[in-house]
Amino acid sequence: MDCIFCQIVSGKIPSDVVHQDEEVIAFRDIKPQAPVHILVIPKRHIPSLAQLTEDELPVITHMVEVANQLAKREGIADRGYRLAINCGPEGGQLVPHLHLHLLGGRKLSDELG
């Protein structure tokens, strides 16, 4: 599998892992766009939100749960943060493995797109 995030899951590509459990792994973005920029991804290869099946939907809940816990641990929960999932080329998705961005630690842009 040549998916870059699958290689992070398997440990072939090193990453700064901040959380790991049976379903998901979270690591710091290599090109952070905010003081806190963490990616939460399912360990199983799901290409994008658009390909998510009904059976796979619970993983989204778990990804949000982990992101909320990490926001607390990073000390940004009270100040506020943003969770974002890009989907497809026009949605700005560059890596075709589902991932949730946790961004915070500064005042983020009011614009979303």
In terms of CB distance, is 31 or 54 closer to ligand AMP? 31
Tokens describing residue 81? 């943060």
Q: State the DSSP H helix or E strand holding residue 73, giving kind and residue range, or none if neither.
A: helix 58-73
Dig out the tokens for 35 from the structure.
């003081």
Task: Report, in Å, the least distance between residue 37 CB and ligand AMP.
Answer: 7
Distance CA 5, CA 20 (A): 14
Catalytic residue list contains 19? no
What's the count of helices (H) and strands (E) in the chain, helices before strands? Answer: 2, 5
> What is the pattern of x (binds ligand AMP, CB under 6 A) and - over residues 39-78?
x---------------------------------------
Summarize as ranges the residues that interact with ligand AMP (CB under 6 A).
Answer: 4, 13, 15, 27, 29-31, 39, 86, 92-95
